[in-house]
Amino acid sequence: MRDSIDVLISEEQIQQKVTEIGEAISRDFAGQSVHLLGILRGSYVFMADLARKIDLPTTVDFIALSSYGEDTKSSGVVKLEIDLGISIHNRNVIIVEDIIDSGLTLSYLTRNLATRNPTSLKICTLLSKPSRRKVDIDVDYEGFEIPDEFVVGYGLDYAQQYRNLPFVGVVKDTGISE
């Protein structure tokens, strides 16, 4: 049976915000190139849309990390599943993330990437749940701050489902308690 999903952020709101972020990146890095580094799997939809709103020489790569199993709570353990395909040395790296929750994933990743000598390292996230933060993260580009609810769609999953929804929504009846 499909869970029922309430729309939290509409497709139109997302597309408007992605356009704004793409324009901001294009302004901030005018005259330079950028290297988008998406965190699989949740960022793939945002990454694809964002890349097409950036008016600069742009390269893309992906890294796979996991801190979640088939549950809705962070295990607190971040595992590097697939490493960089392209060296980030001398590149303006923009990490592209779907959502920042505890911040543990990005805290691990930024420390790891900083040792690989990028020219610059920025963080771009579509969503953020500030009330859930366990470690401070400096976010350079942020789409929407959302309340402490488990969301799906536009790349985000619940047990690998719902990534293909064009909007961000809240799943009802999953028995999520926090």
Residues making contact with Mg ion (CB under 5 A): 42
Residue 102 interacts, among ligand IMP, Mg ion, none and using kind-specific CB cut-offs from 5 to 8 Å, with ligand IMP
Determine, following the binding rule CB under 6 A, whether residue 44 of this chain makes contact with ligand IMP. Answer: no
Residue 112 tokens read as 């790891």
Q: Indicate whether 96 belongs to the interface with ligand IMP (CB under 6 A).
A: no
DSSP 96-150: EEEEESSSHHHHHHHHHHHTT--SEEEEEEEEE-GGG-SS----SEEEEE--S--
Task: Report the alpha-carbon distance of residue 152 to residue 158 in Å, rounded.
Answer: 6
| 120: contact with ligand IMP by CB under 6 A | no
Number of residues engaging ligand IMP in binding (CB under 6 A): 17
**Alpha helices for 68-118 (secondary structure H):** 104-114
Identity of the residue, 42 or 118, whose beta carbon is nearer to Mg ion in the bound complex: 42
Residue 101 falls in the annotated catalytic set: yes
Active site residues: 101
Q: Which residues bind ligand IMP (CB under 6 A)?
A: 42, 67-68, 74, 97-105, 150-152, 156
